[in-house]
Amino acid sequence: MNVIKSPQIYLDVALPAALPKVLTYRVGAGQEVPAVGVRVVVPLGNRRLTGVVWAVHDEVPQGYVPKEIEAVVDDRPVVTVAQTQCWTWMSEYYLCSLGDVVSAALPAGLKLASKTRIMVNPDVEMSRENEEGLSDAALNLLDALRLREGMDLKEIADVIGVAHPQRIVRFLVDRGLAISEEELKEKYKAKKKTFIRIDSEVMEEVGVIGAELDRVENKAPAQARALLAYLEMASNGEAVLKTELQKKAGVTSSVVMKWVEKNVFVLEERAVDRVGAYEGKVEELPVLSQPQTKAYTSIRKSLVDRKPVLLHGVTGSGKTELYVHLINEALDAGEQALFLVPEIALTTQLIVRLQKFFGNKVKVYHSRFNSSERTETWLKVLDNKKGSLVVGARSAIFLPFKKLGIIIVDEEHEASYKQQDPAPRYNARDVALWMAHRWKVPCVLGSATPSVETVWSTEEGRMTKVDLTQRYSGVMMPEIIVADLKKEQKQRSMRGGFSKLLRDNMLEAFENGKQVILFQNRRGYSPSWQCDLCGDAVMCERCEIPLTFHKKLHGLHCHHCGYHVAPPPKKCGACGSTSIKPKGLGTERIEEELADLFPSVKVARMDLDTTRSRHAHAKLLEAFSNHEYDVLVGTQMVSKGLDFANVGLVGVMSADKMLTFPDFRSFERAYQMLTQVSGRAGRASERGTVVIQTYSPDHWVIQRVIIGDHGKLVEHELIERKNFGYPPYVRLIRISLRHIDEKRVKAGAEVLATRLRQRFGDRVAGPDTPSMSRVNDLFRLDILLKFERELKMSSYREVLTVDIEEFTLDIRFKRLRVKVDVDPV
Ligand code: ADP
Ligand code: ZN
Ligand code: ZN
């Protein structure tokens, strides 16, 4: 019986579920009060969920009686206070539930759902030593786990007679004694590969390798090749992949094994999915050139004033080298660095480059990593022993940094920084800028083709613009020439999709021993299967688009819903004509035409179809960079961030589609795409060439690309956007409604648009049909809201949210899917 009544403590808890806000719970009498960021188990309806404490307070909640929390999971916060602020802001800004943000942010390993199965970690010896200091309950649990295949939390609770075993479970997991079944599976899925290194004694003893080489040179040339290839590949004495060594040396496994028998080579098994511990030497930082030094000084000056920087550096100017210096400064100060890159740029090439300077301080974080690796990185970042560098795709902005010294967003214009589905539909670049502003963290956005919005920010004085206008190598930017397809067709000089101009340039490149990249943003053989007579194309049954013909699969495929028809129809469904065939140019067709045009040339294709397996992408790039291929044909995958020294020519198979795409950003995107892909040519020694094929050679965007006049592009775009009310002058919010019944979508969209017009007047546009009116049997209509940039979001967020919520509750429209996208890209 309490004499003095202590005040009741309440916890606001964020749950990884689609709940609009935090829920309030009570701390039970005598229970310890967890801190903000600690995970707790709470009841929700008849479920139990693990959530994160968002606030601790003593305000009595109005209108309902809060339930008691069931258990505390952590003995220290796993989410920082700063993160709770950022995620709350994200849910407000991107008009989504806090639960959506928490769900996206936490790696699965930290969500600890009640159906997670826990088992004994088979890798750990059960010994007295390991069990030292375990509580009776923990020992009981271990015993119980040993007897079974695995148990979920509920079973565990029953077996050991503890109502809320999460904490004990987590304790065992942290000590490595127990593991979740999911993580165990993932752990063993990690493929092992064989690496070769030279025995360290052999390496250190002067002259041994030379003597060995002399010995085998004449009688076993293959062995000599293998040893030489190794020395060439492993410049720092690090291990190399055995298969790659064999390929490079042109020898079989048995030749390599001869060296192993002689104790010159040592074999090593390594899991390849993890970013292996770096064992090479850590190099000195690159010495900056004079223009780079100048840029670096300007960047530093701005960052000292805590003003973010846009680094506008042409392709090959060495932006990465500047980042490396900035990162180094942060690490030296014991701070953490966050380096964001688009998913596609997250290649081994980049990681190895960073490891050369920062060794094992480099951590990689992105969604393709499995959950145990991500959980591991999360906890390491949280502990921040020494400074560390996290390289990651957009989800890395969710990590629990405690002492962030710099954020770098490379290729800031990339649309892939924006998450499309599910909510939160955030833009990692903009979240980074928010973090920079809020916590005064130095922040650099870099690009060769910055977005119109970001350039505008620099003009408005919110950011500093720093330019790098030359390539590091001193090589001139590539020469861009245009192939006029209309003219060539008239002159009958086209061969399939190839103009004479492009063919001639390819020939010249091959003769000079150069490699060629061909870009076409359509995969498959041809984008449609069409009737010659009436022009009718075979459409997807579920989507409003023509089906793509894939020759190898001998079928028509929809790239949006997976629908397919095989084999393709031999007769036109509309007019009955049998003159029906593939129309248009996809990467598969280009590959085929190349085989006809240049039979002796080796061609690799890189698109979604050829890179489905986990390492295919990296392998292709590696092979191309070793000049195992002469031509690389690909979709936008080949346009980004690749640094190949030997590419002399880039061909853009068709620039027309991107110039006519109905979107206010299409000119900007076309400029970026053409410039980026051009940037792959002639990077190292000689000036490269780019051939752009098009039916509109005089288009102003193409003319801007040719002279590399990004400034004029932005100027033009800003005028247009001001006139027509587009970003950066307004904030766009797109509301999409989808349903299988077209009439219902129409009716719903009208009702919602009318309601919103009553509120916001002519800031509301639509409903309009998007370029694809139906996908996967769902009809779609969009309503577009345009709010003046100056208008604070808080002045309309509330009303807007209520209107949308009421609409979704309207019984007539209940089944409609409503998607809200702030700052759509
Ligand atoms: P960007 O990212 O601007 O396109 P990169 O950083 O890829 O350019 O640099 C282009 C090439 O020039 C790379 O091969 C890089 O190693 C080299 N490079 C750039 N700056 C330096 C430097 N200061 N020292 C040595 N090499 C450099
Ligand atoms: Zn027809
Ligand atoms: Zn479809």
Spell out the residues 6+ positions from residue 805 whose beta carbon is closer than 8 angstroms to its own.
none
Per-residue model confidence as pLDDT tens digits over 59-72: 988 888 899 998 88
Q: Is 347 in the pocket of ligand 1 (CB under 6 A)?
A: no
Give the residue, out of 472, 475, 676, with the most ligand 1 atoms within 8 A of its beta carbon, to mutate for a pocket test. 472
Nearest CA to ligand 1 atom 15: 318
Q: Is 472 in the pocket of ligand 1 (CB under 6 A)?
A: yes
What is the arrangement of strands in the sheet containing 240-241, beginning at the earlier edge strand? 240-241, 192-198, 265-271
The span from the CA of 162 to the CA of 404, in Å, is: 40
Q: Is 318 in the pocket of ligand 1 (CB under 6 A)?
A: yes
Spell out the residues 6+ positions from residue 253 whose beta carbon is closer than 8 angstroms to its own.
242, 246
Using omega within 30 degrees of 0 as the cis cutoff, is the peptide bond preceding 122 cis?
no
For residue 326, the CA-to-ligand 1 centroid distance in Å is 15
For residue 320, the CA-to-ligand 3 centroid distance in Å is 40
Q: Is 319 in the pocket of ligand 1 (CB under 6 A)?
A: yes
The span from the CA of 181 to the CA of 706, in Å, is: 56
Q: Is 316 in the pocket of ligand 1 (CB under 6 A)?
A: yes
Residue type, 729: Y
Nearest CA to ligand 1 atom 17: 318
For residue 774, the CA-to-ligand 3 centroid distance in Å is 9
pLDDT of residue 47: 80
Average pLDDT over residues 768-779: 91
Where does the pLDDT of residue 784 fall: very low under 50, low under 70, confident under 90, or very high at 90 and above?
very high
Where does the pLDDT of residue 184 fall: very low under 50, low under 70, confident under 90, or very high at 90 and above?
low
- Residues with C-beta atoms within 5 A of ion ligand 3: 540, 542-543, 558, 560-561, 563
Q: Is 395 in the pocket of ligand 1 (CB under 6 A)?
A: no
Per-residue model confidence as pLDDT tens digits over 388-399: 899 999 999 999
Per-residue model confidence as pLDDT tens digits over 353-371: 899 999 989 999 887 676 6
Spell out the residues 6+ positions from residue 204 whose beta carbon is closer than 8 angstroms to its own.
none
Q: Which ligand is nearest to the CA of 477?
A: 1
Q: Which residue has the tokens 């590539």?
A: 478
For residue 345, the CA-to-ligand 3 centroid distance in Å is 29
The span from the CA of 30 to the CA of 603, in Å, is: 71
For residue 532, the CA-to-ligand 2 centroid distance in Å is 7
pLDDT of residue 237: 59
Lowest mean pLDDT among 151-165, 530-544, 627-641, 728-742: 151-165
For residue 473, the CA-to-ligand 1 centroid distance in Å is 8
Residue type, 726: Y
pLDDT of residue 14: 94
Q: Residue 520: which of 665, 602, 633 has the closest Cα?
A: 633
For residue 233, the CA-to-ligand 3 centroid distance in Å is 46
pLDDT of residue 111: 75
Burial of 664 (0-12, 13-18, 19+ CB in 10 A): middle
pLDDT of residue 113: 58
Which atom of ligand 1 is closest in space to residue 641's alpha carbon? 4
Lowest mean pLDDT among 610-614, 667-671, 785-789: 610-614
Lowest mean pLDDT among 390-399, 462-471, 642-651, 668-677: 642-651
Which atom of ligand 1 is closest in space to residue 313's alpha carbon? 3
The span from the CA of 733 to the CA of 755, in Å, is: 16
Q: Over 283-349, what HEC string results?
A: CCCCCCCHHHHHHHHHHHHHHHCCCCEEEEECCCCCHHHHHHHHHHHHHHCCCEEEEECCHHHCCHH
Which atom of ligand 1 is closest in space to residue 317's alpha carbon? 3
Residue 772 predicted with pLDDT over 90: no
Average pLDDT over all residues of the chain? 89
Q: Is 289 in the pocket of ligand 1 (CB under 6 A)?
A: yes
For residue 536, the CA-to-ligand 2 centroid distance in Å is 5
Q: Which is more confident, 141 or 550?
A: 550
pLDDT of residue 71: 83
For residue 777, the CA-to-ligand 3 centroid distance in Å is 8
Lowest mean pLDDT among 80-84, 203-207, 793-797: 203-207
Q: Which two tokens stand for residue 321?
A: 């080298």
Which atom of ligand 1 is closest in space to residue 473's alpha carbon? 12
Which atom of ligand 1 is closest in space to residue 410's alpha carbon? 2
Which atom of ligand 1 is closest in space to residue 289's alpha carbon? 23
Nearest CA to ligand 1 atom 16: 318
For residue 290, the CA-to-ligand 1 centroid distance in Å is 13
Per-residue model confidence as pLDDT tens digits over 749-759: 999 999 999 99
pLDDT of residue 521: 92
Give the residue, out of 643, 672, 675, 685, with the most ligand 1 atoms within 8 A of its beta carbon, to mutate for a pocket test. 643
Buried b / exposed e across 456-480, counting CB within 10 Å, b at 16+? bbbeeeebbbbbbebbbbebebbeb
Nearest CA to ligand 1 atom 18: 318
Spell out the residues 6+ positions from residue 361 whose beta carbon is closer than 8 angstroms to its own.
331, 386, 387, 388, 389
Q: Is 803 in the pocket of ligand 1 (CB under 6 A)?
A: no
For residue 413, the CA-to-ligand 1 centroid distance in Å is 20
- Residues with C-beta atoms within 5 A of ion ligand 2: 531, 533-534, 536, 572, 574-575, 577
Nearest CA to ligand 1 atom 2: 319
Residue 133 predicted with pLDDT over 60: yes
| Residue 524 and residue 609 in contact, taking contact as beta carbons nearer than 8 Å | yes
For the question of whether the overall pTM of this predicted structure is more than 0.85, the answer is: no
Q: Is 315 in the pocket of ligand 1 (CB under 6 A)?
A: yes
Which atom of ligand 1 is closest in space to residue 287's alpha carbon? 23
Residue type, 273: D
Q: Is 643 in the pocket of ligand 1 (CB under 6 A)?
A: yes
Average pLDDT over residues 411-416: 94
For residue 581, the CA-to-ligand 2 centroid distance in Å is 11
For residue 311, the CA-to-ligand 1 centroid distance in Å is 14
Q: Which ligand is nearest to the CA of 314?
A: 1
Q: Is 286 in the pocket of ligand 1 (CB under 6 A)?
A: yes
Region of 806 (left: φ > 0; alpha: ψ -120 to 50; beta: rest) is alpha
Percent of the chain with pLDDT over 90: 59
